[in-house]
Amino acid sequence: MSLWLALAVAFGVGLLAERLGWLRPKAAWAAALVGGIPLGEGGVPAAMAVLYLVGLGSLASRWNPKSRDRQGRTAAQVLANGLPAALGLLAGSPAFFLAALAAAAADTLATEVGSRARWAWHPLKGRVEAGTNAALSGLGSLALLGGALLYTPWALWLGVSPLAVVLGGVAGALADSLLGLGEERFRWWGNNLTNLLATTLGGGVGFLIDS
């Protein structure tokens, strides 16, 4: 499938995702980039890996009554979580692609599930309320690992080392928590920048391990 056709198809899927409440209004163009590039470069399996992340994130946020994303992801959130993966695949690295997606999935589940824990641990503040930025809980840590492991079948499907994908996912999600400290120190540093850097790092770890 040509890249332009793939972008058009992904845009249509993005519009449907808006109607379903998975994405916020006017986020379909971001979905076109994040989903269209994988569809054009990696075919249906790669596109399904992206849709898997979108569906997983939507279900996790709706399951969590405290979630800030119950009304769907914004265009900026879509790009922060999925564009590094798409560009990695465009550059010819399925390992980077899947590890970046695994990092996004692991971080999403750690956030949504972990916020329901009794408490969490913050690197600078110690014991804090669950859901605090940059803090990890036992429940959230298990969800983090589970999110990364959920991309093992995709690794086997696309011929990538499952170990590279899982470790990249875990590394990226853990980095997300540490990078979150930047949000507390700098006004210009938001959660989307944290997610962008974390998914890029996770993809890079997966690429290095698979090389």
Residue percentage of the chain with pLDDT more than 90: 63
Pairing of strands 120-122, 126-128: antiparallel
**CA atoms 192, 158, 112, 135: torsion sign:** negative
At 41, is the pLDDT very low, low, confident or very high (cuts 50, 70, 90)? very high
CA-CA-CA-CA dihedral for 73, 129, 181, 62, to nearest 10: -10
Split at pLDDT 50, 70, 90, the class of 69 is low
Question: What 3-state class would DSSP assign to 122?
Answer: strand
Dist CA 163 CA 136 (whole Å)? 23
Cα–Cα distance between 88 and 68 in angstroms, integer? Answer: 28
Q: Which helix (H) or strand (E) holds 120?
A: strand 120-122
The mean pLDDT of the chain is 90
Question: What integer is the mean pLDDT of 82-105?
Answer: 97
Q: List, for residues 12-25, the tens digit of each pLDDT value.
A: 999 988 888 778 88
Residue corresponding to tokens 């900026």: 76
Domain ranges of the chain: 3-210
The pTM assigned to this predicted structure is 0.91
User: Higher-confidence residue: 117 or 200?
Assistant: 200
Q: What's the CA gap between 105 and 17, in Å, rounded?
A: 18
Q: Is residue 96 within 8 Å of 89, Cβ to Cβ?
A: yes
**Coil vs helix vs strand at 180:** coil
